[in-house]
Amino acid sequence: MSFAPLSQTHAVAPQITPEDIPLLKEAGFTTIICNRPDSENPIELQSDVLRAATEAAGLSFASNPVTGGGMTLDNVAAQSELLANTEGKSLAYCASGTRCAVLWAFSMAGDLQTDEILSAVASAGYQLEGMRGQIDMLAAQK
């Protein structure tokens, strides 16, 4: 199980499994955010299964599914709210972590400088430089 920190309180990861939950708890995460729609996963990796495993471990679970290429401003707003209202460390997952990194970048627009956002995601292994314009546009709307 691998994850990539984007900030001191948030990280992203590729698809997790129920077996990963104890490791995530041990790593200090308090909230798991699913950004992957159930239609992309077999039954054993769907959000209800992961929610049950997460909550059984005493962690919080939230779902904000985003289809590849179908991210909306509602998804960004929901992610922003989840991040703002999470106590402790959160981890968001999807297929590769990329959608989660994009959601985080868009959610941070206006709160952090665009260069800071792009540097954080690049340090985590996600190249989002091509989204600079969208991040700047979202920042201007805040």
Q: Is 117 part of any domain? A: no
Q: Work out the pLDDT band at 34, boundaries 50, 70, 90.
A: very high
Q: Is 114 helix (H, G, I), strand (E, B) or coil?
A: helix
Q: Is 139 part of any domain? A: no
Within 8 A by CB and 6+ apart from 45, the residues are 15, 17
Q: Is 11 part of any domain? A: yes
Counting the structural domains of the chain, the total is 1
Q: Is 9 part of any domain? A: yes
Q: Is 131 part of any domain? A: no
Q: Is 83 part of any domain? A: yes
- Domain of 42 in residue numbering reads as 4-105
Which two tokens mark 22?
A: 């104890």
Cβ count near 95 (within 10 Å): 15
* CATH of residue 9: 3.90.190.10
With a cut of 90, say whether residue 118 has pLDDT above it: yes
- Inter-residue contact 21 to 59 (CB < 8 Å): yes
Q: Is 118 part of any domain? A: no
pLDDT score at 69: 78
Q: Is 135 part of any domain? A: no
Within 8 A by CB and 6+ apart from 105, the residues are 117, 118, 121, 128, 131, 135
Average pLDDT over residues 112-138: 97
Alpha helices in 1-142 (DSSP H): 21-26, 47-56, 73-84, 98-108, 114-123, 132-141
**What's the pLDDT tens digit per position in 86-95?**
999 999 999 9
Half-sphere exposure of 105 (CA within 13 A, CB side): 30
